[in-house]
Amino acid sequence: MAAHPGTHVHTADNAVPPLNDDLAGLLDDLAGFHHGLDLIADGVRALAVDRLTIQQTQTVVTMLAGSTDPAGQQIDVAALIAALVARLLNADENPALRTLPTDTQDQARTAGADFADHDAYITPRTDIAKTVYDLNPL
């Protein structure tokens, strides 16, 4: 049976295709460093191979990187990762850094804060949010 125009059926019975080489490679490269990273990778893998509806796709992509909240108040995984990086690079919140020289601690803290700030104010979430909105079939 032929697909209706515009349905873009790419695989037999519209099956979810296997991971592409880029995503599979990233998941493989990040495996085994820490159980927390393995859990994140497992979540990414689960999302990548799940058969999602359009509405689920909209929700998942929005929660990954499409928050429309004001800069610095985004609620998505990109903001979560940025906040985690800032925490891990802050000696006040990560005791492992407290044995480093003060200037190194300050440099790490600044880099983490800059990363979180960059994510909050520069990441093009509006492009993602618009794309997600456009997925909604009329």
pLDDT reading at 103 higher than 80: yes
pLDDT of 80 reads 96
- Integer Cα distance of 21 and 29 in angstroms: 12
The pLDDT-based confidence of 12 (bands split at 50, 70, 90) is low
Residue 85 near residue 99, CB atoms below 8 Å: no
The pLDDT-based confidence of 4 (bands split at 50, 70, 90) is very low
pTM: 0.83
Q: Angle at the Cα of 18 (from 16 to 20), degrees rounded to 5?
A: 120
pLDDT of 89 reads 97
- Integer Cα distance of 72 and 21 in angstroms: 33
- Integer Cα distance of 82 and 101 in angstroms: 24
Among 89, 82, 87, 84, CA closest to 104: 89
- Integer Cα distance of 97 and 86 in angstroms: 13
pLDDT of 124 reads 85
Residue 109 near residue 90, CB atoms below 8 Å: yes
